[in-house]
Amino acid sequence: MKGLMERVSANPHKAAALAYGGLGVLIIFITFAADMVPRSREDAVWQLLIGAVFVLVFAVLIWRGWWWLSAFLILSNAWRATTYFSAGLGLHIELPALSITSVEPSPAAFANAALMAVIVLLLVRSAWIGFSDWRTRRLAEREA
């Protein structure tokens, strides 16, 4: 087990994939278990399950070194971290409507925000190192 963890931590894509997949599914579970899904949302359970499938598919692609997918997912996950944090404070932010409304504060949302922050940091690491490696290879090809 120790050898596996060393290999995963040494590879930024694998670390990001494990965080995105594992913590992502945990966040979905916490969201459902803490009853943070608005009552007005119909079929919320199915939406969360579909979200879990996408999280796992993206995790597999990141594991395989798709660093540009990590880069693409940074902003959406940072936004989710922000919305979970604001939900913990008792605020609901609607970006398209540009509105902020008061809701019942949810302490469990802070846990989700912290987990999302870990995911974002590992996605940034994966994207940065992937981009750096790609750029280095591209420059080496030009010089050859």
What total of structural domains would you count in the chain?
A: 1
Pick the more confident residue, 72 or 2.
Answer: 72
User: Average pLDDT in the 69-74 region?
Assistant: 96
pLDDT at position 8: 64
| CA–CA distance, 144 with 136 (Å, rounded to integer) | 12
User: Average pLDDT in the 96-117 region?
Assistant: 90
Band of the pLDDT at 51, cuts 50, 70, 90? confident
| CA–CA distance, 53 with 59 (Å, rounded to integer) | 10
User: Average pLDDT in the 41-57 region?
Assistant: 83
* Structural domain range at position 23: 2-143
Q: Name the helix (H) or strand (E) containing 75.
A: helix 67-89
pTM: 0.85
| CA–CA distance, 57 with 3 (Å, rounded to integer) | 25
Task: Find out whether 13 and 67 touch, Cβ atoms under 8 Å.
Answer: yes
| CA–CA distance, 122 with 39 (Å, rounded to integer) | 32
| CA–CA distance, 15 with 95 (Å, rounded to integer) | 31
In this predicted structure, the answer to whether residue 85 has a pLDDT above a threshold of 80 is yes
